[in-house]
Structure 1
Amino acid sequence: MILFKMEWKKQYKSFLIWTLLFMFLSLGFSAIYTQMFTPAQKDSMDIMLKSLPDSMLKTFNIALSGPASMFEPVGFFAYYFQYLYLAACIYASLLGTQALINEESEGTIDFLYAQPLSRSAILFSKFIANFTILSTFWLLSALASLGSLLLFRMSGDPIQEIINGVTKIYLYEWLVLFFFLTLGFFISSILKHARHATSLSLALVFGFYLLGIVGDLLEKLNFLSQWSPVQIGVPSSILNNGLDAAPIVFLFSLVFLTASFYCYRKRDFQS
């Protein structure tokens, strides 16, 4: 419980910044929807987007028809939210990669030595704290996104469709964030210094992101997109196909979490 409270106290400022930023951006983008997609604007946007090559539409995950159509409220949300989702993956990865190594880098590892806690208990407490932080951030973001879409929806937009679409996106993407949190924990259990945590988190997320883009653009390398947790969690893809890889993503998350416990117990601390 002590470590849980310490972790919350350490993270609450960044938690507030990330949460408020997501809420503000969701509100702002939702307000744009009613201005951009009036009947006249829809026709001109449809003509313009159809003139773009398919490769560009695929790269930016722009759908012109189906559940993820950009001209529908949930589809428009899916388009702009893919960039916020990418940022959320970075946040989840940062929480994981900094969770264990910070104590050693900041010289507070001696405090943990003094506690009647095993290394497994230390890691478990830190994981639960960061898991709670990430889940709370995602829940508040979901409520803000849903509330913003309902507030600025057009009169003919079906409320239940908006609720179902946003709920589906957030539930499936939470699993991807959980993956990056556990992967970050594993890296933190073997990392030598906290100064590498941020760069590694960015490299992981953008590396998987680029892997997915290459897989989508090159037919011969299409299998790469199936190995990118970022790509399979793209909102438009979730609306069209769900998340068939959910069991695999969850399994890899458990593997990384288990490996974190093993490596952390074997680690030689430097106080």
Structure 2
Amino acid sequence: MTLFRLECKTHAKSLLIWMIVVTLVTFGMMAMFPSMKESMSEFKNTMPQEMMEAFNISDMAALSTVGGYFGYVFQYIMIATGIFAAMLGTNSLAREEAEGTIEYLYAQPISRTSIIVSKMLSSFLLYTLYWIISVAVSLLICLIFKESGASISDLVTNFSLFAFAGWVMGLTFLSVGFLLSSMLSSNKSATSLSLGLVFLTYILGIVGKLQHDFRFLAYFSPIEAALPSKVFQDGIEGKYMLTDCLIILMACCLTFWIYRRKDLKV
């Protein structure tokens, strides 16, 4: 429990910064909704259909509603969320070797399994707290800027489904980040690895949507499964969630297997 509390305390400041930035960016983007919905027809004529599908704006009618507009703008927050979760994971285990604190941990009556469990639980708590607050604030902002006549109950229902799908998405990046961290001896490349992981999978989702022969690539894009525009329109697709859950399980098991056999720099 000592390591768990220490991890939570270490990341508390960065968690607060991330939540403040996400809140301000979301509010800023949603504040443009009243003026943007008037120019959607002009915007439609300036972009090719394929490009609109790649950026999830093929249904222009939906963009005139607060839910549809939120689904478009929040996809970029989803990318940032994936990076945040991946960085939590990739920094976690490797940081102890890079900073030399692994020697201190080894002097304590704690096993490698306990180290992994404590770090996973703390990262899980931090990410879940970040996500719950982000979704709650986003829902409140949407209620503030919603168009007249919009159904509040439908919006709340859609947000409930989106909250679950996005939470699973972040856990996927978090677990893969832990797997990468178990193989690293330094966290210097953690940021670049996190960025590369998130953007690579995001691009795979775009390719899967544009090329029917490569449709299967979308299953390797956690962001694609949790996009609010997709969840609001089609609900949660079980096949995507199943793929994410399998990746989470495999990544966690491999993390334990690799880290327990790893030669640590003490």
Same fold (TM over 0.5): yes
Query: Could you tell me how far apart the structure 1 residues matched to 2:58 and 2:187 are?
Result: 40
Q: Are residues 1:250 and 2:258 paired?
A: no
Query: C-alpha deviations, 1:187-208, integer Å up to 9, x for none?
Result: 1011121111111111111111
5 Å-filtered alignment, 1:12-51, equals: 12-37=12-37, 41=38, 44-50=39-45
The residue aligned with 1:116 is: 109
Among 181, 186, 196, the alignment partner of 1:188 is 181
Q: Residue 258 of structure 2: SS of its match in structure 1?
A: helix
> What fraction of aligned residue pairs are identical, expressed as a percent?
36
Among 218, 238, 250, the alignment partner of 1:225 is 218
The residue aligned with 2:86 is: 93
Please report the TM-score for the alignment, with normalisation by the length of structure 2: 0.94
Q: Number of aligned pairs?
A: 264
Q: Is the 8 A contact 1:74 1:166 kept in 2?
A: no
Which stretch shows the higher mean deviation, 14-23 or 225-234? 225-234
2:85 is matched by which residue type in structure 1? A
Q: Is the 8 A contact 1:73 1:162 kept in 2?
A: no
1:254 is matched by which residue type in structure 2? L
Q: Which runs of 5+ in 1 are unaligned?
A: none
Query: Could you tell me how far apart the structure 2 residues matched to 1:36 and 1:164 are?
Result: 25
Q: Aligned-pair distance for 1:237?
A: 1.8
Q: Is the 8 A contact 2:165 2:225 kept in 1?
A: no
Q: Is the 8 A contact 1:233 1:243 kept in 2?
A: no
Please report the TM-score for the alignment, with normalisation by the length of structure 1: 0.93
Among 66, 70, 74, the alignment partner of 2:63 is 70
Query: Could you tell me how far apart the structure 1 residues matched to 2:237 and 2:210 are?
Result: 20
Q: Are residues 1:163 and 2:156 paired?
A: yes
Among 114, 121, 126, the alignment partner of 1:128 is 121
Q: Which runs of 5+ in 2 are unaligned?
A: none
Q: Are residues 1:3 and 2:6 paired?
A: no
Q: Is the 8 A contact 1:4 1:128 kept in 2?
A: yes
Compute the RMSD of aligned alpha carbons. 1.5
Q: Aligned-pair distance for 1:28?
A: 1.9
Q: Is the 8 A contact 1:30 1:77 kept in 2?
A: yes
